Amino acid sequence: MDIQVIIQNDFEKWLNAIGYAESTVYASVNYVRDFFVWLEKTPIKELSQINNQVIKTYYDYLQTRRNKTKSGSLSNNYIISNINALKRFCKYLQVTGKASIEIDLPLQAITTETKTILTKSEVKVLYKACENDILGIRDRAILSVYYGCGLRRSEGIALNVSDILLREKRIYVRKGKNYRERYVPMTEAVKEDLENYIFVAREKILSFKNIKPEALFLSIRVQRMHGNSLIIRLQQLVSKARIEKEIGLHTLRHSIATHLLQSGMTLEEVSQFLGHASLESTQIYTHLAYE
């Protein structure tokens, strides 16, 4: 069984072809790779030998495995993401005719875990962790887009500098979920962070090459930053701020939604701010706000 070819090539290409987000593809491939590393310690040598009981044994193993980067065990969210990645892999095997594996695990007991939310004080510490150099100024702008404006990962990546309407204090989201467009308001503080990035840090980055890309967030190579690059920058801030939580770009969105509800904003207003199609998607934050 050529595991590396299956994981790194065919499975990844299939996920991309289906249309999964870049971060989901990246995480799924890594989770499945971890699964096969674990399999090497078992008698399983063929895809056909993998069944629901094998997955259940792996699930039990994850619940007892120590966290490699932080103290303690793996979080429930991490375990759920692992199993969901294996479900995608099994679906890929079925669709491509390589194997027929069904995963039927009683995950109800752990899927009720709430979303990871930062406190307001933790958000302040994240902002303070930003340096005053061009990368630090860019980091602050990233926080302002994903926390201050609550954008989804893909929405922030797709932003062009022309989408930042500083005079109107709004951000034009061209590529929202299900292709819905919307305008998102920005506070004066967010406006200042974006102005500082666009007219200072971004201009300095542009000077590295004789090109003028439209993208808002630019790498040092003067190219549009992608999800993994943004996540790496966020993780560096989290580490510097000494925050002991598993945090992604979505955590910033969850956090601002909760904080807005705590501040007295109505569910309808928060739903519109987040770009939700219905109030049901926003209601998850109501109990988080009161907790």
Of 87, 44, 46, 41, which Cα lies nearest the Cα of 65? Answer: 41
Distances (CA, A) of 265 to 5, 69, 82, 270, 272: 50, 37, 35, 7, 11
3-state secondary structure of 194: helix
Specify whether the CB–CB gap between 265 and 252 falls below 8 A. no
Q: Which amino acid is at 258?
A: T
Lookup: tokens for 132: 């005053």
Active site residues: 152, 177, 250, 253, 276, 285
Burial 226-262 (b: 16+ CB within 10 A, else e): ebeebbebbeebbeebebeebbbbebbbbbbbbbbbe
Strand order in the sheet with 170-173: 164-165, 170-173, 182-185
Of 16, 108, 229, 274, which Cα lies nearest the Cα of 283? Answer: 274
Lookup: tokens for 259: 């904080």
How far apart CA 150 and CA 152 sit, in angstroms, is 7
CB atoms within 10 A of CB 47: 15
How far apart CA 82 and CA 108 sit, in angstroms, is 15
